[in-house]
Structure 1
Amino acid sequence: MNVPAALRYTKDHEWIQLLDDGATALVGITDFAQSELGDIVFVELKPAGTALKEHEIFGTVEAVKTVADLFAPVAGEILEVNAGLDSAETVNQDPYGSGWMVKMKLADPASVANLLDAAAYRELIGG
């Protein structure tokens, strides 16, 4: 299971990557999550400009087997949604790259440090 060391993770299987400016981040679902969901057929995300609290639902992922909610790993505002997700299978193919879901401006960039690091996430998923 792919768990990049540079990212932080939630117990709900979202990842967050702090960008170089230190105030914005990309968010998506983990390789484990996409694997458990199976073939993803549709992604629905809240629009840019939406303010989110930590753990607030920012969208859903629909797979052949189920529909899963997406939870904001930290508080902030959605700046951009990934237009490339019109092809939802991108999430299965490249969850940490072109399969990112939203770009967020973080309310408190330091809050990212409170999330799971790669080792803790790997332990959570039994890998």
Structure 2
Amino acid sequence: MKVHIAYTHKDNGSGVWVDTNGKELTSDYCKGNEVFVTDKDGNEVQTKARFLHYTGKVFRDKDGQLLDDDIYKGGIILRFRNGRLDGEGEPAVETEDCHIEYWDKGELKEVVSDYMNHKEKWHNNMIQEVIIDKQ
């Protein structure tokens, strides 16, 4: 199924990803769906990003401290620094099916998916470029 999502700002100024009904994304937004966003040129493009619902979110550990650790759960490695998804130059997300996402301080920067054949460059929560290697 095709799903269209958009980045929008709340009344308090923070930004979130929402579906066409204005509902904030949950972790299952991409499961079994083809997800589409608007790129920097106003074109509808498919994204392979799987963790957009983490954009701008701050995470804490069980003691209430900002999460500053690498977590492995269910075949996924997530790297957090100062409470936000951040790989500090390394992938912040790595999955068993070779999907990689680079994040910096809670903002998506790059997606590498489909066994390195699909690459997306992101800036300010917008796709700047999609590169598909059809070899």
TM-score (norm 1): 0.30
Kindly indicate which of the two structures has a greater share of residues assigned to strand. 2
Higher RCO (C-alpha 8 Å, min separation 6):
1
Kindly indicate which of the two structures has a greater share of residues assigned to helix. 1
TM-score (norm 2): 0.29
